[in-house]
Amino acid sequence: MLDTLTARLSRVVKTLRGEARLTEDNIQDALREVRLALLEADVALPVVKDFIASIREKALGAEVISSLTPGQALVGIVQRELAALMGGAAQGLDFATQPPAVILLAGLQGAGKTTTAAKLARLIAKERKKVLVVSADVYRPAAIDQLQTLAAQVGVDFFPSTAQESPVAIAQGALDWARRHFHDVLIVDTAGRLAVDEAMMKEIADLHAAVKPIETLFVVDAMQGQDAVNTARAFKDALPLTGVVLTKLDGDARGGAALSVRHVTGAPIKFAGVSEKIDGLEIFHPDRMASRILGMGDVLSLIEEAHRTVDVEEAKKLAKKVKTGKGFDLEDYKAQIGQMRKMGGLQGMLDKLPAELARMAQTSTVDERKIARVEGIINSMTRGERAKPEIIKASRKRRIAAGAGVSVQEVNQVLNQFEQTQKMMKMVAKGGMQKLMRGMKGMMPGGR
């Protein structure tokens, strides 16, 4: 997401060299790059104009401290303005009301409302709140079934509804049920249309009046581009929006919606859909997103993800093996691949690294499918073979290859990669970090 924007903005640092301060003349070209980058990313024109004007005002005359180049100083200003454009600080949900707190989801068909309802329910349930979800989408019966399936998957309660009922009656019935069964939160999934129309807006306004939600979230597809702005404006006029959920941020779209929708609705972006998986919804941090857009990475989110998913005891065992440089076997190698997959796979981790580090890490051209094959190959080995890979000779390799459905050559590749990783562990144990960085190329499972 926003790769073009990241690439263009990274050039800004190189446009200004040897200047003592930022002036109208020396930032003109840089601002032109920023403007083009935003327009190419499909950011709405009025948003671009306001954004550029704000940067120019703050940049002109700004002193450049000795440790920074003017280009770096300008990037700092751009980062702060990007974060402000997307809402400043991260904002969570408001539960300060008599239970149940009602959350109403609105948006066009195909934006991902139903999946978002389940993902949001999962996040809230993890905070030890009792959650009920209901579908008021009577125009797409499959939506009701889909939400029921997803609710069971994430372990929250589902209120049944049918296409023969009115959306208002469904929502009121669910609210009454939630009160009588002591639910903390009720999430109402509403119907979408292919385009904004008067009937749709009246229906969603009636629903809002009936259940009086404390949170009214506008769900928008980040791949919509300029259309997202028009849709956002229509929903803002019809409803008192309290927040925005951006979906499909993992797509290859230009992603200008992330920068436009906050400006248009005035409502903060509260969540971002980062994958199709049921756990692929994250709290939106404008400052971290601004850093990612500028190629600085999002190491804080990577650390938080590690805290949530990494097995602490396993990590301690591995740390001990790294420290001594002994005992690291194929079972440990496979466990590390599993931990990496829990954190969204290698690509998900690389996306959060600073651009320079990500490029270094990608020199071995990572293929997620190859990583899955590595796991399959290790699973085809016996415990003895995983503990002592040196005993794996020709006949064993043929058996392992047949069991994993791969060629002997691929088994050899896995064993070679493991041997390189073992060497890396020994380098770390001896404190040879510089040697380690030089030797990293090709060590990643799934690299070629």
CATH number of the structural domain spanning residue 307: 1.10.260.30
Helix (H, G, I), strand (E, B) or coil at 225: coil
Within a domain: 128: yes
Q: Is residue 382 part of a domain?
A: yes
For residues 212 and 229, membership in a common domain is answered with yes
Phi, psi for residue 270 in degrees, rounded to 5: -100, -35
**273 in the same domain as 355:** no
φ, ψ for residue 421 (rounded to 5)? Answer: -65, -40
Look at residue 167 and tell me if it is in a domain: yes
Residue 299 in tokens: 């190491």
Distance CA 349, CA 329 (A): 24
Within this chain, do residues 278 and 309 fall inside the same structural domain, yes or no?
Answer: no
Give 10-residue mean pLDDT values along the chain (448 residues): 59 56 69 78 80 80 55 72 75 83 88 89 90 89 89 92 89 92 92 76 88 90 72 83 82 61 82 82 78 55 48 60 64 72 53 46 52 83 87 90 89 85 66 48 47
- Indicate which CATH number applies to the domain containing 34: 1.20.120.140
> How many whole angstroms separate alpha carbon 334 and alpha carbon 261?
42
Same domain, 261 and 334: no
Residue 318 to residue 130: CA distance in whole angstroms: 37
Picking from 296, 314, 349, the residue at the C-terminal end of a domain is 296
Domain boundary among 246, 275, 296: 296
Do 112 and 247 form a contact (C-beta atoms < 8 A)?
Answer: yes
Q: Which tokens hold the place of 97?
A: 């009301």
**Looking up tokens 């440790």, which residue turns up?**
67
The full 3-state SS of the chain, as one line of letters, equals CCHHHHHHHHHHHHHCCCCCECCHHHHHHHHHHHHHHHHHCCCCHHHHHHHHHHHHHHHCCCECCCCCCHHHHHHHHHHHHHHHHCCCCCCCCCCCCCCCEEEEEECCCCCCHHHHHHHHHHHHHCCCCCEEEEECCCCCHHHHHHHHHHHHHHCCEEECCCCCCCHHHHHHHHHHHHHHCCCCEEEEECCCCCCCCHHHHHHHHHHHHHHCCCEEEEEEEHHHCHHHHHHHHHHHHHCCCCEEEEECCCCCCCCCHHHHHHHHHCCCEEEEECCCCCCCEEECCHHHHHHHHCCCCCHHHHHHHHHHHCCHHHHHHHHHHHHHCCCCCHHHHHHHHHHHHHCCHHHHHHHHCCHHHHHHHHHHCCCHHHHHHHHHHHHCCCHHHHHCHHHCCHHHHHHHHHHHCCCHHHHHHHHHHHHHHHHHHHHHHCCCHHHHHHHCCCCCCCCC
- Whole-model pTM: value is 0.62
Number of domains in the chain: 3
Same domain assignment for residues 325 and 264? no
Q: For residues 206 and 219, what is the distance between their CA atoms, to the nearest angstrom? A: 18
Give the C-alpha separation, 365 to 352, whole Å.
17
Residue 74 is encoded by which pair of tokens? 């300008």
128 and 256 both lie in a single domain: yes
328 lies in the same domain as 423: yes
Tokens of 72: 């770096």
Which residues on neighbouring strands pair with residue 86, listed in sequence order? none
**Residue 399 covered by a domain:** yes
Instruction: Give residue 149's domain range.
Output: 101-296
- Does residue 246 lie within any of the structural domains? yes
Q: What is the DSSP code (8-state) at residue 220?
A: E
Q: For position 198, what pLDDT does the model report?
A: 80
Whether 284 and 308 share a structural domain: no
Same domain, 202 and 259: yes
Distance CA 416, CA 397 (A): 13
Residue 202 lies in a domain: yes
Task: Note whether residue 444 is domain-resident.
Answer: no
* Same-domain status, 273 and 336: no
d(CA 208, CA 169): 12
116 & 224 share domain: yes
Mention every residue, 6+ apart, whose C-beta is less than 8 A from residue 411: 377, 392, 397, 400, 401, 404
Both 122 and 168 in one domain: the answer is: yes
For residue 180, give the CATH number of its domain: 3.40.50.300
User: Tokens 């290698």 label which residue?
Assistant: 346
Domain C-terminal end among 85, 113, 136: 85
294 neighbors 82 (Cβ within 8 angstroms): yes
Residue 430 counted as domain residue: yes
Where are the alpha helices (H) located in 108-265, listed in sequence order?
113-125, 141-154, 167-180, 198-211, 226-238, 257-265
Tokens of 369: 């499918």
